[in-house]
Amino acid sequence: MKKSLVASVIGAALLGSTAVLAAGVTDAMIEKDASTGNDVLSSGLGTEGQRYSPLKQINAGNVSKLTPAWSMSFGGEKQRGQESQPLVYNGKMFVTASYSRIFAVDVKTGTKLWKYEHRLPDGIMPCCDVVNRGAALYDNLVIFSTLDAQLVALNQDTGEVVWKEKIDDYQAGYSNTAAPLIAKGLLLTGTSGGEFGVVGRVEARDPRTGQLVWVRPTVEGHMGYKYDKAGNKTENGISGTTNKSWPGDLWKTGGASTWLGGTFDNKTGLAYFGTGNPAPWNSHIRPGDNLFSCATVAIDVATGQIKWHYQNTPNDGWDFDGVNEFVTFDGPNGKRLGGKADRNGFFYVLDAENGKLENAFPFVKKVTWASGVDLKTGRPNFVPENRPGDPSKGADGKKGNVVFAAPSFLGGKNQMPMAYSPKTNYFYVPANEWGMDIWNEPITYKKGAAYLGAGFTIKPLNEDYIGAMRAMDPKTGKIVWENKNPAPLWGGVLATGGDLVFYGTPEGYLKAVDSKTGKDLWKFQTGSGVVAPPITWQDGDTQYVAVVSGWGGAVPLWGGEVAKKVNFLEQGGSVWVFKLTK
């Protein structure tokens, strides 16, 4: 076990001598996280990722009285995008920030208790801003990942580093931005870096020590491994079949990174990870389905084996990725189902036990790459003329035919997590309506270099809006209601038992709308764009709502004409907490 002290810890000696140590977060507590309201122990307000709270002190009738309780700035010059979901336990809020920072904050006063700033090397290569999406709690540890592809476990009370482990080589393009997942006593993490030709995978570790337990690659052809307590590894089966869906050696740099993290369902015993785009983007180089890219993989937590997979976009040619969260819920006749709003513009409902497709329908208004999804085969009905052209057959051999595609590669939905309410049985999806001109170019792999083989320009589809919060009925596939927004929506969603849906906008507002109708009920200007998911919890007799504010992420970096429409938005870095006025 590696131990060191952190120079940036604030008041560690004082806290270490006076803090009342909690018993620690247990597996049983994490399993009940979705149904308890006095804390927030996991990303998604429960490992299933429903982002639903049964709390209803704050409700549709009184939310207009919601006012700030406190706000805390992350400080410094390291603003950029803030996509973190805070955690709340034992009187403390744990919130990560850009550039691989994490803070512990007193939940009653907003007083900063300690701060840890990870020392990042020169030359990190994050694809889509220097973001971090949150941490995990286990025992008396708070654990988060870093932009140079490491995991750091800190003492919750002092901020002291308990262990630190390397995931992979940042100089080869690996990074990590997702909140870790605790499932059955294991710490599950993914990898980022699909735009650099990395090999995606899911890792399981002992959360107390950081010791590897198993590794499962998400590119077909790579070997999985399991580890004993001494750190010795043995083979644990190849993922799929080598060269079955990948030509030549392309599987060796195949992408399919698991950069958004996963969910876990205790009823099925399976962890669900979305996998990203195959590398490179130029699909003409890699004929075949290119498993397990652009898919959901269901992994047996006990063994590290892939039990089933469902591929949303075989042979992806648009960077539609597939990392979006798979959220499990109860269907009819006791069937356990899962919903996924994919980057490609379709919403999928699968049997969570076996991956069988139950339903698929668009959740955006314009989809050009496919005419629909065949419910019998589970495969998309491609529109061949809307795939970017083969550059080797172009007029000059340097650029393939340009096509217009919708959605854009930033997706009908991207990193911003949706919510599901078992009270309304609706999914609340932050959707975006945009398209792109896209073309292919010749490309060869070079370690640590961008591995795209494509060019693009993103364009809005409508004059009056890009983003739309949509209530989707997973049974009918219908949009029940929508609430439009001029700028793209890039923050997550919270649904509550008080008939409310909370979400933020790039314009800076945290909003509350009626969960049944979408009617605006309340909003507050946070001072910078909101690109993070809200949370709620109850302390004593008071319910709180919190959200991180700080504009950034992929849109201002990659958004083309859309980025120009929102270039007036200011960066920031703070966490806001709200409660009802008496």
- Tens of pLDDT, residue by residue over 140-152, are 999 999 999 999 9
Kindly state whether residue 16 falls inside one of the protein's structural domains.
yes
Kindly state whether residue 1 falls inside one of the protein's structural domains.
no
**359-365: long-range contacts at Cβ-Cβ below 8 A with a sequence spacing of 24 or more?**
359/474, 359/475, 359/477, 360/477, 361/477, 362/412, 363/412, 363/413, 363/429, 363/431, 363/470, 363/472, 363/479, 364/406, 364/407, 364/412, 364/431, 364/432, 364/433, 365/433, 365/461
- Tens of pLDDT, residue by residue over 21-56, are 457 999 999 999 999 999 999 999 999 999 999 999
Kindly state whether residue 374 falls inside one of the protein's structural domains.
yes
Kindly state whether residue 3 falls inside one of the protein's structural domains.
no
For residue 295, what pLDDT is reported? Answer: 98
Any idea of the CA torsion for 216, 234, 149, 220, to the nearest 10 degrees?
A: -30
pLDDT above 90 covers a percentage of the chain that reads 89
For residue 494, what pLDDT is reported? Answer: 98
Look up the CATH number of the domain holding residue 209.
Answer: 2.140.10.10
> Which residues span the domain enclosing 24?
12-580
Mean pLDDT on 565-579: 91
- Tens of pLDDT, residue by residue over 451-490, are 999 999 999 999 999 999 999 999 999 999 999 999 999 9
Tell me if 343 sits within 8 A of 414, measured CB to CB: yes
- Tens of pLDDT, residue by residue over 382-412, are 999 999 999 998 777 789 999 999 999 999 9
Confidence of residue 189 (pLDDT cuts 50, 70, 90): very high
For residue 556, what pLDDT is reported? Answer: 87
Tell me if 546 sits within 8 A of 557, measured CB to CB: no
Confidence of residue 557 (pLDDT cuts 50, 70, 90): confident
- Evaluate if residue 165 carries a pLDDT over 70: yes
Query: What would the two tokens of residue 545 be?
Result: 């709502």
How many domains would you assign to the chain? 1
- Evaluate if residue 10 carries a pLDDT over 50: no
Confidence of residue 531 (pLDDT cuts 50, 70, 90): very high
Catalytic residue among 148, 319, 342, 499: 319
Could you give the CA distance from residue 538 to residue 94 in angstroms, rounded to a whole number? 16
- Tens of pLDDT, residue by residue over 58-94, are 999 999 999 999 999 998 777 889 999 999 999 999 9
Could you give the CA distance from residue 289 to residue 221 in angstroms, rounded to a whole number? 13
Tell me if 552 sits within 8 A of 129, measured CB to CB: yes
Kindly state whether residue 2 falls inside one of the protein's structural domains.
no
Kindly state whether residue 5 falls inside one of the protein's structural domains.
no
Contacts of 39 (CB under 8 A, 6+ apart): 33, 88, 89, 90, 537
- Mean pLDDT, the chain, as a whole number? 94
Confidence of residue 19 (pLDDT cuts 50, 70, 90): very low
Pairing of strands 212-217, 201-205: antiparallel
DSSP tag of 114: E
Contacts of 568 (CB under 8 A, 6+ apart): none
Kindly state whether residue 6 falls inside one of the protein's structural domains.
no
Confidence of residue 2 (pLDDT cuts 50, 70, 90): very low
For residue 17, what pLDDT is reported? Answer: 33
* 473 is annotated as an active-site residue: no
What's the pTM value of the predicted model, to 2 decimals? Answer: 0.95
Q: What is the largest CA-CA distance in the chain?
A: 73
